[in-house]
Chain A
Amino acid sequence: MDIKDFRDKLFERAKKEGFLDYEIYYVNGNSFRVTVYEGEIDQYSVNTDRGLSFRGLYGDKMGYSYTEILDDEALEMLIKNAKENAMAIEDEDIEIIYEGKDIYPNVNSYNEELEKVDASEKINLALRLEKETKAKSKKIKTVDDCIVASGRGERYISNSKGLDLRHVSNIIYAMVSAVVEEKEKVNTAYSFKVTNDIEEIDTEKLAEKAVTEALSYLGAKSLSSGKYKVIIRNDVMADILGTFWGIFSAYNVQKGMSLLKDKSGENIASDVITLIDDPLLEKGLASVPFDDEGVAAYTKDVIKNGVLMTYLYNLKTAKKDGVKSTGNAAKASYASSMGTSPSNFYIKPGNNDLQGLFKNMGEGVFITEVQGLHSGANAVSGDFSLGAKGFLIKNGAVERPIEQITIAGNFYTLLHDVVELGSDLEFGIPSGNSCFGSPAVLIKELSIAGK
């Protein structure tokens, strides 16, 4: 069944069944992925998919249901499940179906040229990336995970209040992981590029980055445990921000799961920190004209010079606090209920380059990789203890590589302990509705465990 026909039939049934307001959230897209290994295609996949979520106000409770098939049976199931689910809800904060009379910004996240790139061109790109990576050094043992992938996705929201919004985006990424070996010791490092312009993928540069970094870890040793000054590399800090962003969610604040309760207008970070949520960012990988409730997206400072300016709101949490939604409503997947998430969420860069930060630190540790963010970091407590790699810095310069250490601290404290920011803003791989970015950050002190 065509999506518009399905919607019309579904809405008709919803009305008949006593839903007051209702909405569909529909995603569809296609994706391509190729992995090469030793000059040949290793894995190849082409996919199309779609999913439809229905939600409706039954009494004053919102019921959700979803399906991946659009047929008459699914239609009945959606109505029945949504009704049952609505009746189970006890929360008194009311979810809202939005009228959507906003003026929506123009966000261009679809590149038509990318759709014209055929499979063989992407395969060749992956083959070239592998070849160039291999050619970088005699110490390369293997090239692992040499991937080129692309995708096109469409989001469509339509409801009984007249909202009817559509947004299409596409993306391509290339990734390579180099495995190097010396004296039976193995090290790995990877590099990637995400964009929607294939011309921006520079295989030579990706190869160089992965191999240089992998080689630079050879001979790494642990370090004595203690407190050290630390510089966290831009991409690593972006990942850490991506782990702890939830402390800025109004939902978590309202439920006592963030320690930022009643901190609006207060200093919650070092005054060098300005944290921005920018859904309108030019070439941003999480740029959108509207959020998942259909509220117009806009750019905002979440922290300005260390001061907490706002939490991230959707309609429900905004209503509870008596404020306006910040346009950050988000579903974790099309099937999920409504939550919150940032868009392009990044720490505004400073003026100093990495060498400058090394000089200012003098002696300390440069962290270039952390492991275990999903397990060793807790957004409710802010605590983290993470496996890490990096370099010992002495007299403002790199002394030697370090491995088998952990860095531990607390994110709330870390925000206060940032001394200086680098100028090298970098964004990570987008995930869900968000893309996190940061420059390198110089931190007063973190605990390092090693020998």
Chain B
Amino acid sequence: MIDKNIIIDVLGKALSTGGDFSEVFIEDTQRSSLGLVDGKIETAVSGRDFGIGIRIFKDFRSIYAYTNDFSKEGLMKTAEEAALALGNLKESASINLFERVNKNSHPILFVPKAINTDKKVAKLKEAYKVAKEYSSEIIQVVSSYSDVDQNIIIANSEGLFTGDRRIRTRFMIQAIAGDGKENQIGYEAPGRSKGFEIFDEIDVIECGKAASAVAVKMLHAPLCPSGEMPVVIDNGFGGVIFHEACGHSLEATAVAKGNSEFADKLGERIASEKVTAIDDGTISNAWGSINIDDEGTPSNKNILIEKGILKGYMIDKLNGRRMKMNPTGNSRRQSYKYAPTSRMTNTYIASGNDENDHIISSMDYGLYAKKMGGGSVNPVTGEFNFAVLEGYLVKNGKVDTPVRGATLIGKGSDILLKIDMVGKHLDFAAGMCGSISGAVPTNVGQPMIRVSQITVGGRE
């Protein structure tokens, strides 16, 4: 994309004011998306993002600059401007680069570009048809297909010169049920680090049915009760509880400056002993997977919590300096427009020994949260929230009536200790996680779990 000698000059220029580390991130990304509304393709957009990010460290300070101007003059000027934030210009540093080729754990069969638009459209229509015909109460179905083909090169003053290609495909369907007075929705949005072969694994017809089923069910469901109660959270997207209640607070971004309730707690018990939690960016073709992170560190399987004991954090280079710890392959960014920082990849609670039936029947009165939406957290205080999209009351150990969505809230350090049952069937679900380095694809996951007590934000 850009001549290696220019990269060498840029890295050197970036260190001309006393910086001790410089890095270049070059991105060339092709994206395409299709949107189907009312059974017809309404939007079709495609294009190319291209830019270069230059980063410089001096001790704990970090300087970042990006540009779309990829001429040598443009790049040198950007490097100089960034460097000037650290002091006066002196001589450029001399840099040697050594190319590293990484193992590809996420092979792609069908590159998105090689697939005809018609085939992509056909998938959207198949799903639309079943979703729309599911019930006369389905008043609208919106679905979309999107793919990304991201090519990156990373080079730094330590001599690293490497790259990665990340191909991802995602399908989304949202069904809306309405009776003129009220609307309710259901949705499915699976994604993988795959090309068009994603549809060998993902059945769009099942997705369409599932989305409509939830929308119709929720239209007739009573409001959710409120207050503290035991809650069973199902597998797959249920893992959002760990992502919000704990995951973000284990990112070096929060930990390095002590702005996390889990800072300085390595080796201590922070969760019930049923909880083992892992961040694993190496899972083959998973939505949140990467071969290398956006600083070039190979992706890793990192144990965060083992049987309730805090074992590790997710660490990027800069925060690693402050923490005096090595990077863990978690430094990520949305694009060249963001400096990377520690983020999650595929984060999950590992399988336990409890049977699903037993978990449900253990509750006299509580909520069974079958489908979850997104959430958020304030890592400093640990206050988190996440949404239940499909819930059921449990009475006397049996699943009773469906109830409408509600948000669950708590404090991470408190809730992790209250996870008292963990099932056997681990599953994952795709999401986009937004934080200071932008929106990155992450998987959440878990088997069915029970939280002995959590605040349910219902309306009854």
Chain A contacts to B: CB under 8 angstroms: 37, 40-51, 53, 63-69, 74, 77-78, 81, 84-92, 119, 141-142, 144, 179, 186-188, 222, 225, 255-257, 259, 335-337, 371-372, 374-376, 378, 380-383, 385-387, 403-409, 447-451
Contact = CB atoms under 8 A, between A and B. Distances in A.
Contacts of B183: 256-257, 259, 380-382
B317 to A, nearest CB: 13
B364 interface: no
Given A371-B378, A403-B383, A48 B459 contact: no
Interface in B69-123: 69-70, 78, 81-82, 85, 117, 121
Given A50-B68, A372-B407, A91 B37 contact: yes
Given A89-B44, A222-B455, A376-B385, A42 B61 contact: yes
A374 B383 contact: no
Interface of B: 31-32, 34, 37-38, 40-51, 60-70, 78, 81-82, 85, 117, 121, 139-140, 142, 176, 178, 180-185, 224, 226-228, 257-259, 261, 337, 339, 373-376, 378, 380-381, 383-387, 404-407, 409-411, 434, 455-460
A408 B385 contact: no
A407 B385 CA distance: 12
B178 A256 contact: yes
Nearest to A382: B183
Most B-side CB within 10 Å, residue of A50, A63, A78, A90: A90
Nearest to B174: A380
The 4 closest A-B pairs by CB, nearest first: A406-B457, A449-B226, A66-B47, A375-B374
Given A85-B44, A187-B381, A385 B184 contact: no
Contacts of B85: 41, 44, 46, 119
Contacts of A381: 182-185
A88 B456 CA distance: 44
A336 B42 contact: no
A141 B380 CA distance: 11
A257 to B, nearest CB: 6
A393 B270 CA distance: 35
A186 B381 contact: yes
Nearest to B218: A381
Contacts of A337: 43, 45
Given A188-B381, A385-B457, 20 more contacts: A45-B64, A46-B81, A47-B67, A64-B43, A64-B44, A66-B45, A86-B44, A88-B117, A89-B43, A186-B261, A259-B178, A371-B376, A375-B386, A382-B183, A385-B406, A387-B407, A406-B406, A408-B459, A447-B226, A447-B458
A69 B82 CA distance: 22
A386 B378 CA distance: 14
Contact of A88 (B41, B69, B258): B41
B69 A447 contact: no
Given A375-B385, A451-B227, A47 B37 contact: no
9 contacts: A37-B257, A46-B85, A47-B67, A63-B44, A255-B140, A259-B183, A376-B457, A385-B224, A404-B409
A337 B37 CA distance: 14
A45 B41 contact: no
Given A66-B45, A380-B176, A449-B227, A375 B387 contact: yes
Most B-side CB within 10 Å, residue of A43, A45, A179, A382: A45
A119 B404 CA distance: 51
B169 to A, nearest CB: 17
A95 B38 CA distance: 17
A49 B40 contact: no
Nearest to B318: A43
Contacts of A448: 226
Most A-side CB within 10 Å, residue of B49, B386, B409: B409
Given A68-B68, A408-B459, A186 B380 contact: yes
Contacts of A372: 374-376, 385-387, 407
Given A67-B48, A376-B407, A49 B67 contact: yes
A130 to B, nearest CB: 13
Contacts of B178: 256, 259
B140 A256 contact: yes
B378 A188 contact: yes
B444 to A, nearest CB: 13
Contacts of B68: 48-51, 68-69
Contacts of B43: 64, 89, 337
Contacts of B257: 37, 142, 144
B247 to A, nearest CB: 15
Nearest to B39: A90
Contact of B410 (A50, A179, A404): A404
A445 B384 CA distance: 25
A64 B35 CA distance: 13
Contacts of B67: 47-49
Most B-side CB within 10 Å, residue of A68, A87, A335, A374: A68
B55 to A, nearest CB: 9
Contact of A85 (B45, B61, B176, B373): B45
A67 B47 contact: yes
A188 B380 contact: yes
Nearest to B64: A45
Contacts of A119: 85
A179 B406 contact: no
A92 B44 CA distance: 14
B315 to A, nearest CB: 17
B267 to A, nearest CB: 19
A314 B228 CA distance: 46
Contacts of B82: 44-46
Given A45-B63, A49-B67, A225 B227 contact: yes
A144 B45 contact: no
A185 to B, nearest CB: 9
Contact of A385 (B41, B47, B228, B387): B387
A142 B85 CA distance: 24
Contacts of B259: 142, 144, 179
Given A256-B139, A387-B407, A406-B457, A74 B48 contact: yes
B385 A91 contact: no
Contacts of B44: 63-64, 84-86, 88-89
Contact of A378 (B51, B117, B185): B185
Nearest to A262: B180
Nearest to B227: A225
Most B-side CB within 10 Å, residue of A50, A65, A141, A385: A385
A49 B81 CA distance: 15
Contact of B66 (A49, A141, A376, A447): A49
A91 B39 CA distance: 9
Contacts of A383: 404-405
B47 A47 contact: no
Contacts of A67: 47-48, 50
Given A81-B46, A259-B182, A450-B227, A43 B339 contact: yes
B341 to A, nearest CB: 10
B458 A449 contact: yes
Contact of A47 (B34, B65, B184, B410): B65
Nearest to A73: B48
Nearest to B41: A90
Contacts of A380: 176, 183-185
Contacts of A66: 45-48
A387 to B, nearest CB: 4
A385 B374 CA distance: 12
Contacts of A40: 60-61
A449 B457 contact: yes
Most B-side CB within 10 Å, residue of A44, A63, A403: A44
Nearest to A407: B457
Contacts of A81: 32, 46-47
